[in-house]
Amino acid sequence: MKHKRTPATPPRHGKRPLLRLPGKARPSAAALLTPVPVPVPSVALQSWQLTGAAITGLAHWQKHLPCQDAVRWSQQPRPVLVLADGAGSAAVSELGAQALTQGMLRFIASLEDEVSAWLDQEHSPEALDALQARWRLRLLRHAQGLLHDLAEQHRRSVRDVRATLHLAVLGQKHCFWWQVGDGAIVVQEPAAPPDAPPDAPTSSLRVLGSIEQAKGEFANQTCFVDAASLDDVQCGHLASHRTLGWALMSDGGAEKLVAHDASRVAARLGQWLERTAQRKLSPQDLAVAYHDAAMWQRTTLDDRAIVLAGRSLPEPAP
């Protein structure tokens, strides 16, 4: 017996109605606009080797004055390089340089959970910009606090302990650099693609930041941490796998290694970075090199400070 099909009865043969995804499965407009992290290769933190030295300049040695430069570095929990150069006109700026290098190294180590989430993870360009702005301000405030506390402790003006400051913090995915004042931060980058001829250069050296901004408005002057504003801070990110070496130098340390306009970097610095990566460069080696007579000719005889990080490229697979 056949039944009469009523209008409410769906047809047995025909187009199926379109299925709608449940509300939770449909991406929201906000989700569609969320920036996507950019995938980048990782670099093992253990692959970096670090060394450095701060050497009294002949001008200070002749006057029995202490070295006003200071360097510190740490391999654990991650590679961090710090360099400070005390103001030559300040009464006890060597104390300020030492306080900055020690205090900033400890500050970064104490925030390792945040640093790891920042530099060991993948982020979108927008997220990296936001993190950079946050750390740019945070590091400046902490550095200024260190100098003000030191000045108060010694019952001095903060101008008596003023110094410049350079930092580099290395991560698995990203490296971050930060600078107030003169001196130089140089990065060593891979130069040749894997299929390049054997005689092609394997790396290149590049000065980060603006020399003009670092030196300040007037000749023979620079900006110091205690009086710096956010506009005086230079900083940035680089992908870790695109860096082979880092060199932070005071202005005295850079005199024979970096051109005044930052257009050229001496090949010797590349050799030092390669030896650092091979664990063949010690602080004593740097002191001997800087005390070579040729390194003092036509210079200001200022203190010399440098801190280096280097890593070797992995061997190609057979």
Tell me the average pLDDT across 162-178: 98
CB 56 within 8 A of CB 290: no
Please enumerate in sequence order all residues whose Cβ is within 8 A of that of 172, keeping only pairs 6 or more positions apart, or say none: 42, 43, 44, 45, 119, 120, 240
Q: Residue 158 — very low, low, confident or very high, per pLDDT cuts 50/70/90?
A: very high
* Structure token pair of residue 313: 């490229």
**pLDDT of res. 317:** 47
CB atoms near residue 153 (< 10 Å):
11
User: Does pLDDT of 226 surpass 50?
Assistant: yes
Lowest mean pLDDT among 14-18, 89-93, 286-290: 14-18
* Residue 305, strand partner residues: 54
Domain ranges, ordered by start, for the chain: 40-310
The residues with which 186 forms a beta bridge, in sequence order, are 207, 247
Predicted pLDDT at 297: 86
Confidence grade of residue 190 (pLDDT, cut at 50, 70, 90):
very high
What pLDDT does 214 receive?
73
Rounded Cα distance, 230 and 175, in Å: 20
By CB atoms closer than 10 A (0-12, 13-18, 19+), residue 30 is exposed
CATH class of the structural domain 40-310: alpha beta
d(CA 281, CA 290): 13
| Distance (Å, whole) CA 204 – CA 315 | 19
DSSP state string for 153-190: HTT--GGGG-EEEEEEEE-SSEEEEEEESSSEEEEEEE
Q: Average pLDDT of 209-231?
A: 80
Distance between CA atoms of residues 62 and 135, nearest Å: 40
- The residue with tokens 């702005």 is 133
Give pLDDT, residue 300.
Answer: 87
Q: For the ranges 100-114, 115-129, 289-303, which has the lowest average pLDDT?
A: 289-303
Task: Indicate the angle between helix axes 93-110 and 112-119, nearest 10 degrees.
Answer: 70
Summarised one tens digit per residue, pLDDT across range 277-287 is 999 999 999 99
